[in-house]
Chain A
Amino acid sequence: NAGVTQTPKFQVLKTGQSMTLQCAQDMNHEYMSWYRQDPGMGLRLIHYSVGAGITDQGEVPNGYNVSRSTTEDFPLRLLSAAPSQTSVYFCASYTRGGESSGNTIYFGEGSWLTVV
């Protein structure tokens, strides 16, 4: 059971480049989300999904796109990277489930992105 897998772990981009952060989970969780972590700001929600084909914006969605074509995958796309998007990104998944599994949120190991 791999849990939540994020790739790449480290990435350096030039301003204006595009890239996709990949996130995959093998727990059949219906909920997935992306957060960014910046010093002194905690974790802020970028986008989230409550199931395949359904996504919505979080607190800081500008500059990011997402899609959820399958239950397992939830990629985060930066269409034109900016230095302000330098951050650590976390993917998380979650299920409503039952008492034994509900509301346990699983995080990926993080992706360090630097935009120069």
Chain B
Amino acid sequence: AQTVTQSQPEMSVQEAETVTLSCTYDTSESNYYLFWYKQPPSRQMILVIRQEAYKQQNATENRFSVNFQKAAKSFSLKISDSQLGDTAMYFCAFTPHPNSGGSNYKLTFGKGTLLTVNP
């Protein structure tokens, strides 16, 4: 079974500064996807960034980047130049690659980190 752990229930950062959210996971799969989802107060689930485990290069989307350490099973999210609109709950999530066999599509979430960006 897969597990995803987010060790920081809450974090805060000043506007324009950089913040890093931590995520570790446990799996026996060799190929999988990792995600960061943002959930603002509206509760909408918004995909922030996606990483494919077989790709060495860390994914980047504008101000969002990840530090993917496969051997350590670590997948942290760095938000640069934080903005007030970044205030949200952030979830780390894992799913096996569909070609890994079986019907195990399950998306497993961490418990989330509530990020507050202060003006």
- Give A residues with C-beta under 8 Å from B: 31, 33, 35, 37, 40-45, 48, 50, 54, 56, 58, 88, 90, 92, 94, 96, 102-105, 107, 109-110
> B45 in the interface, Cβ–Cβ < 8 Å?
yes
The complex places the Cα of A29 from the Cα of B10 at a distance, in Å, of 35
> B95 in the interface, Cβ–Cβ < 8 Å?
yes
Residues of chain B with a CB closer than 8 A to A96's CB: 98-99
How many A-B pairs have beta carbons closer than 8 Å: the answer is 54
For B, the interface residue count at a CB cutoff of 8 angstroms equals: 23
Q: Which of B11-19, B61-69, B75-83, B107-115 contacts A (4 or more CB under 8 A)?
A: B107-115
Closest beta carbon of chain A to B33's beta carbon, Å:
5
CB-based contact A42/B112 at 8 Å? yes
CB-based contact A33/B109 at 8 Å? no
- On whether A102 and B98 interact (CB within 8 A), knowing A42-B91, A48-B106, A56-B103, the answer reads yes
CB-based contact A94/B105 at 8 Å? yes
Q: Which of B50, B108, B111 contacts A103 (CB 8 A)?
A: B50
Closest beta carbon of chain B to A108's beta carbon, Å:
9
- On whether A43 and B106 interact (CB within 8 A), knowing A102-B98, A103-B50, A110-B43, the answer reads no
> B28 in the interface, Cβ–Cβ < 8 Å?
no
Residues of chain B with a CB closer than 8 A to A50's CB: 103, 105
Residues of chain A with a CB closer than 8 A to B50's CB: 103-104
Closest beta carbon of chain B to A28's beta carbon, Å:
15
Query: Which residue of chain B lies nearest to A99 when distances are taken between CB atoms in the complex?
Result: B52
Residues of chain B with a CB closer than 8 A to A109's CB: 43-44
Closest beta carbon of chain A to B104's beta carbon, Å:
9
